[in-house]
Amino acid sequence: MSKKADKKELPKKGEEPKKEVKKPEAPPVESTKEEAKPAPKPEKAPKPEKKKKEEKGVFKLYKIEQDKLVRLRPICERCGPGYFMADHKNRYTCGHCGFTRYKPTKE
Ligand SMILES: [Zn+2]
C-alpha cells in the first residue's frame, strides 16, 4: 500500500506539479507626493484657475452703460456672435477664422 501511494504522489516527467506560488506582489504604491507639495495658504480656498482666467479676459470685452451692455469689440462676421475680434491699431482680426476687417480711417 505504501509503495503504490508513493508512486501516485510522484509527479510525472515534464508535468510540473501545481505550485501555489504567491508572487511577491508589490505593495500598492500610494504616492505621498502630494504631501510633499508646499501647502497653499490655508486662508484661501482652492479655486479653479480656468474660471478665473476666463473672467479676467472677458470683462475687457464688455462695458455697461446705462443698464445696457456694450460690446467693446466687434463680432466676427463669419463666426457670428460669440466670437469677438481682436483689436489692433488699424484693423480687427478674428482669431477663430482669421477674418480681418480694417478700421475705418477718419482723417
Ligand atoms: Zn471668425
3-31 pLDDT, tens digit per residue, is 555 666 665 666 666 777 777 777 776 65
- Asked if the model's pLDDT at residue 38 lies above 60, the reply is yes
In terms of pLDDT, which residue wins out, 89 or 32?
89
**Residue found under cell 476687417:** 101
Residue 66: inside a domain:
no
**How much distance in Å is there from the Cα of 94 to the middle of ligand 1?**
5
Domain count, the chain: 1
Residue whose C-alpha is closest to residue 61's, from 53, 74, 73, 79: 73
In a domain, 89, yes or no: yes
**CA of residue 87 to ligand 1 center, whole Å:** 13
Q: Compute the distance from residue 55 Cα to the ligand 1 centre, in Å.
A: 21
Assess if residue 87 is contained within a domain. yes
What pTM value is reported for the model?
0.40
- 96: containing domain: 74-107
Residues in contact with 93: Cβ distance below 8 Å, sequence separation at least 6, in sequence order = 85, 86, 99, 100, 101
pLDDT for 72 equals: 86
Query: Is residue 27 included in any domain, yes or no?
Result: no
The amino acid at 51:
K
Q: Calculate how far, in angstroms, residue 82's C-alpha sits from the geometric centre of ligand 1.
A: 10
Q: Is 91 contained in some domain?
A: yes
In a domain, 60, yes or no: no
Ramachandran category for residue 24: left, alpha or beta (phi over 0 → left; psi -120 to 50 → alpha):
beta
Within a domain: residue 100?
yes
